[in-house]
Homo-oligomer: A and B are copies of this chain.
Amino acid sequence: MNFKEFEQCGLKRSLDLLSGKWKPLILHHLFQEKEIRFIELWRKMPRVSKKVLVEQLQQMQEHHIIERIELKGFPPQVYYRLHQDTEPLGPALQILDGWGKNR
């Protein structure tokens, strides 16, 4: 295998995009709740700083894994939801979730 093939390995790419300290949990919540407010999400993960949570969310947006919806008004309201492209992952993530519980 050469470097090109390395770069093209879809599995590598997927796992890179989905892993990270908090991304699996974010996914977990978004698959459950469809749409969630920033502050709610933050409260569900008490051990993350806002900064880190924001970073993870921004990266996931860039990679089209989630969408950010900002509503006018006060106090600010920002919702996050899964990007449409991420839906096909549902079955895969469910298998992984089950598998991960037994170790």
CA distance A103 to B12 in the complex (A): 11
Taking the closest CB of chain B, its distance from the CB of A67, in whole angstroms, is 15
Q: Which of chain B's residues has its CB closest to A101's CB?
A: B10
Q: Interface residue count for A (Cβ, 8 Å)?
A: 41
Besides the known contacts A6-B47, A92-B96, 16 further A-B residue pairs in the complex with CB atoms under 8 A apart = A1-B29, A1-B45, A6-B45, A8-B101, A9-B24, A9-B100, A11-B27, A12-B28, A14-B96, A14-B100, A15-B24, A15-B100, A16-B24, A18-B96, A19-B19, A89-B96
Interface residues of A (CB under 8 A from B): 1-3, 6, 8-19, 23-25, 27-29, 44-47, 63-64, 88-89, 91-93, 95-101, 103
